[in-house]
Structure 1
Amino acid sequence: MRSDRREQLVVAAYRRVAEAGFEGLRLRQVAEDVGIDHSTLHHHFATKQDLVDAVAEYTTRQFWTTAPQGPDPAVALREHLQALCRLIEDRPDLFAVTVELDLRARRDPAVAAAMARHEAGWREVLTTVLAEGVAHGSWSVPVDAAAGAELVIAAVKGARLVPEVAGQVFGQLEALLIDGAQDHAKGERP
């Protein structure tokens, strides 16, 4: 029961951040949203910072299902970008919270550390996929795996600010990295 209540508090805080940003996150309101007394919230989260860290973890966990996977690096990257594009279209709340977390991280070392921890897995998986693509000749341009991972992350973080162009942005990224290499492998000019 305690973990259920904790999860309810995290989801309530997440919703508050999605609707009003961190400036609108009030512990009393979060407790009220879950139907508990404000003092009871502190049995689950000692500080507001602990709750913010839990929101960061909850938010980044939503992306785990999009992780690139499979034996073909180009297919894995394409599917990852397509899954992220669907998330941007279907879950604007998720991206509103990620924007809030990234902005807060610039001013708050604790949030920056939490986001770095939570994004490390994404960065590692992307770097691995890109490195495997380099080894297999999957990319149409020379790719430094670490810099390429940062490019993908930057494209995703930029596209979330203008969701209506996310499909075009990710399509262009695919065309630059993937499609040209496949055309080249078929003997066509990129």
Structure 2
Amino acid sequence: MGKQKTAHIAGDQRRRDIARAARRIIAEKGLEGLRMRAVADAVGINIATLHYHVTTKDDLLALVTDEIRADFIAQHEQRGLSGGKGAIAQLNQEFSDFSENRVRRPILIAAFAELSRHASRDEEVARRIHPLRDAWIAGFEKILRAGIEEGVFRDDLDTPAFATLIAAALGGFGGEAASNDPTVMSRIFAELMRSVLSPEGKETFDGNA
């Protein structure tokens, strides 16, 4: 029984290694550069071992998106974002988390951006990445609705539209653009925040700034 558990743990770790190697290749070379042989070489295994864990490129893509989802969920759980904070603090935390990921986990952000870019013309990529993006947008929408209920966000705010706008704005930082400058990011975050604040929210936000 102990050997089976050890083998299972080893298998899980190997799959994480494969997912992260594939994610790095996607971030650095684009989805077109993702090859099974390249992933095997990056992990330091032979192609037969790779095929034991992922038999097709679609399986590999599923593994990558699952790993991206797990990383995002782990960050939110670590931050404790879901409870005990007002909407302004939650939205600020989302911006802070994204900024931290951009600096500390550039591969994660770049791979997500590359997959999102391909989703518009590749149905299989869209099937894998759209649930992640939809969940991201839904999270912003939930915060915006909470802010309206608290009276700190505008009551005429179109929450689905603005949640999508936030995701699009942040998604623009995924590549190697000049806008990766942290000061530019901070200015955009501030403009997004000011756009949703009610008069009461502006007083609260200015007081916390």
Q: Return the TM-score normalized by structure 1.
A: 0.86
Alpha-carbon shift at residue 45 of structure 1 (Å): 0.9
Q: Aligned pair 1:122/2:136, yes or no? A: yes
Alpha-carbon shift at residue 72 of structure 1 (Å): 0.9
User: In structure 1, how many angstroms separate the alpha carbons of the residues matched to 2:138 and 2:161?
Assistant: 12
Q: What aligned pairs does 1:1-190 form with structure 2 within 5 A after superposition?
A: 1-64=10-73, 65-66=75-76, 68-70=81-83, 71-140=85-154, 142-161=156-175, 162-164=179-181, 165-178=184-197, 181-183=200-202
Alpha-carbon shift at residue 179 of structure 1 (Å): 7.7
Alpha-carbon shift at residue 140 of structure 1 (Å): 4.3
Specify every segment of 5 or more residues in structure 2 that has no aligned partner in the other structure, as ranges: 1-9
Q: Amino acid of the residue matched to residue 3 of structure 1?
A: D
Specify every segment of 5 or more residues in structure 1 that has no aligned partner in the other structure, as ranges: none
Structure 1 stretch displaced more, 174-183 or 149-158: 174-183
User: In structure 2, how many angstroms separate the alpha carbons of the residues matched to 1:112 and 1:175?
Assistant: 32
**Alpha-carbon deviations, 1:77-122, whole Å to 9, x = none?**
1111122122223322222211210122122111101111222322
Structure 1 stretch displaced more, 56-65 or 30-39: 56-65
Instruction: Report runs of 4+ in structure 1 exceeding 6 Å deviation.
Output: none
CA shift in 2, pair 1:85/1:185, >3 Å: closer
* Secondary structure of the corresponding residue to residue 159 of structure 1: coil
Alpha-carbon shift at residue 29 of structure 1 (Å): 1.8
Answer whether contact 2:152 2:198 (CA < 8 A) is retained: no
Structure 1 stretch displaced more, 58-67 or 47-56: 58-67
* Secondary structure of the corresponding residue to residue 123 of structure 1: helix
User: In structure 1, how many angstroms separate the alpha carbons of the residues matched to 2:168 and 2:82?
Assistant: 20
Q: Amino acid of the residue matched to residue 102 of structure 1?
A: S
Structure 1 stretch displaced more, 177-186 or 33-42: 177-186
Answer whether contact 2:148 2:155 (CA < 8 A) is retained: no
Q: Amino acid of the residue matched to residue 29 of structure 1?
A: A
Answer whether contact 1:102 1:112 (CA < 8 A) is retained: yes
User: In structure 2, how many angstroms separate the alpha carbons of the residues matched to 1:127 and 1:147?
Assistant: 9
Q: Amino acid of the residue matched to residue 186 of structure 2?
A: G
Alpha-carbon shift at residue 28 of structure 1 (Å): 0.9
**Alpha-carbon deviations, 1:1-46, whole Å to 9, x = none?**
2222111111111111122111221211211222221122111112
Identity among equivalent pairs (%): 30
Q: Amino acid of the residue matched to residue 116 of structure 1?
A: H
User: In structure 2, how many angstroms separate the alpha carbons of the residues matched to 1:75 and 1:179?
Assistant: 15
CA shift in 2, pair 1:36/1:90, >3 Å: closer
Alpha-carbon shift at residue 185 of structure 1 (Å): 6.7
